[in-house]
A and B are shown apart, each in its own frame.
Chain A
Amino acid sequence: MTDIEKLTADTFTKDTGIKVNYTVLPENELRDKVTQDVATKAGQYDVATVGMYEVPIWAKNGWLHELGSYATADPNFDYDDLLKPMVTGLSGDDGKLYGMPFYGESSFLMYRKDVLSAKGLTMPERPTWQQVADLAAKLDGAEPGMKGICLRGLPGWGEVFAPLTTVVNTFGGTWFTKDWQAQVNSPEFTQAVKFYVDLLRAHGEPGAAQAGFTECLNSMSQGKVAMWYDATSGAGSLEDPNVSKVAGKVGYAYAPVAKTKSSGWLWAWAWAMPKTTQKADAAAKFILWASGKDYEKVVGQKLGWSRVPAGKRASTYQIPEYQQAAAAFGDVTLKAIQEADPTNPGTQPRPTVGIQFVTIPEFADLGTKVSQEVSAAIAGKNSVEKALADGQALAEQVAKKYAK
């Protein structure tokens, strides 16, 4: 995001005369600040960066301008080039687009090709979770101090529950049924969480209950773990020899599955225009520019192709320079995003659109509280059954509001 701030003056402002002032914040503060600003109609921002979780909820509250019509009106923007799952995930209940993706991601399994082949092991292109668990057991200790797999255990709905909900989905579990029955202590949900916790406790990174994306990225890039299941955006850093000891040694497989065909998550940071804006046309111009093809080219030429905000347009993956920069992981990333189905990610119908989260305002709180209990189970402080029984009670309270 700091890239775009640097590039705006020489390109966007120079061409259009529109001056853009940025406020750059870390993710948590961004959420806190932007949510308050938009919800209280303070109107400080003309454009805000929000995630796939917020967009549909905010659209429903009538806080956002619809953006699809701006995009289709501009032939240069090439609306149809946007990846389908991105458009679906950033649309409101009315089917209109309320968030314009800036970059998108799914999840996949990253593994050390060299360590696997030294052990005579192979990674299937589409592994099952059972295969991953078996490999983790064999890779544990493959090098001195090396653990089998890194998975998030840090509390937070966007931390441990991002990967864990994809495991729950593929084991056949769900947070809520289509008609809002809480399912947190169902056999499938329990089996999935047990699998995750057992795998982490047996072959996961040390300090798993405190490890999130950053900690796992660190462990993987320093060669402390043999596998890592997380966001596709992690690959860019792993392949950067300046920060990673394992660049060029990493292979990429699809998100492991159990009962479903695919299980990767879907996430995007997107531009949204609050209803309070006084400068809708200028804001729309900026949004179309920032999510457009030309901006990707500017980044590629000026800052390097590995820094292109990818994962939202099919055409990005046809740029030869980008193909070269993302040779190891580009194809798998694109396919993982294309295969992700936010409307039907598990084995049964869902009440809301979204893969690793339930798109209701209460989920941030519900997911965070249940994640604290799961994290305690990962630390060995309580049992999975206890964690999920507590979670079920919380989920039932939430479900009451929605069940008709």
Chain B
Amino acid sequence: MTTLTKAPPVRTVRPAPMPSTRVRWLRRAPLLPALIFTIVVTQIPFLVTLVISSLNWNILHPGDRSFAGLSNYQFVFTDARLRAAVINTVTMTASVVILSVLIGLGLAVLLDRRFPGRGLARTLLIAPFLVMPVASALLWKHALYNPAYGLFNGVLNALWQAFGADHGPTIDWVSDRPMMAVVAALVWQWTPFMMLILLAGLSTQPPDVLEAAKIDGARALQTFRFVTVPHLRQYLELSVLLGSIYVLQTFDAVFTITQGGPGTATTNLPYEIYLTTFRKYEYGQAAAAGVVVVIGTIIVATFALRVVSSLFSKESPR
């Protein structure tokens, strides 16, 4: 995303020999430090990464650094582990974003109604998003999934015992359904984020339109389908876009809950890059993978946004 922000500054800096130049510069001057700061902290590291990605550089072999050309990129595109990581990343991001948008939408619609204790319910529902990602991953791993003392198996056990059985089944959630285990924890964490955005959208819905729909005899579901959803279009787009960008970078949950396993079942790109940097110490390969991920993210984000926008603009009336 960072490179997208580069375009406007170039235009502003271009010398334009018009009489108003001085005035325009004066008006923009207070913004310049922020702009320069942004360019420095986002673009210089990216350039450094580009340079590193063209090197053969394993920090544990000092004196062995050499120019590698594009061989690191060749490695990135041919490595079977990285390909698996791409698939895992896509699966994980798509399922988390879709599920949390759907659940978030449901919760937002419910919370949009007036009922006693609404403030409390809202606060409680937001809580998962305020828990630190590592803490939430630890919570899921130990308090919920653990086959010996976790809540899920405890509930199953209690149910079985209530019906007279000796001991409930011992399900090893993380090993048996690794991707589902990570996705569930992430959905729990991201649903409040989606809910907040959509709730903001719902609260801007003009009441007179809803009233008009009611007078026209539209049922609740029809109102939702033809009035509320089109109204929420921008908000849904925003939550999908922001969600995709954030969930794509998921590291904490994978690192803590599954360590990328079993095998490579949940190894996503950030975790694979982490392994390349801190286990293999192949900085060149890690940098190349990072560059590919950034470019991939920009492409996906741009296209996803266009596709989503056009879909919704067809649906919206007029």
Contact = CB atoms under 8 A, between A and B. Distances in A.
B207 interface: no
A210 B265 CA distance: 13
A224 B148 contact: yes
A23 interface: no
B59 A39 contact: yes
A361 B61 contact: yes
Given A364-B280, A382-B263, A209 B172 contact: yes
Interface string A358-392: 00011011001100110110111110000100000
Given A36-B59, A361-B281, A207 B146 contact: yes
Interface string A34-65: 01100110000000000000000100011100
Given A206-B170, A206-B172, A381 B263 contact: yes
A373 B263 CA distance: 4
B58 A361 contact: yes
Contact of A376 (B147, B170, B172, B262): B262
B246 interface: no
A155 interface: yes
B172 A365 contact: no
Nearest to A386: B263
Chain B, interface size category, equals: 20 to 34
A207 B262 CA distance: 11
B194 to A, nearest CB: 29
B275 A207 contact: no
Nearest to B60: A361
Given A31-B278, A207-B148, A372 B176 contact: no
Interface string A197-240: 00000000111111000000001000010000000000000000
B48 to A, nearest CB: 13
B275 to A, nearest CB: 6
A376 B263 contact: yes
Interface string A134-168: 00000000001100000000111100000000000
B155 to A, nearest CB: 16
B165 to A, nearest CB: 14
Interface in B224-257: 257
Given A39-B59, A207-B146, A361-B60, A379 B281 contact: no
Nearest to B280: A365
Contact of A372 (B148, B167, B260, B281): B260
Contacts of B275: 365, 368-369
Given A209-B174, A368-B275, A376 B148 contact: no
A32 interface: yes
A154 B259 contact: yes
Nearest to B276: A365
Interface of A: 28, 31-32, 35-36, 39-40, 57, 61-63, 144-145, 154-157, 205-210, 219, 224, 361-362, 364-365, 368-369, 372-373, 375-376, 378-382, 387
Shortest 9 CB-CB contacts between residues of A and residues of B: A376-B263, A361-B60, A206-B147, A379-B175, A376-B262, A379-B262, A365-B280, A39-B59, A207-B147
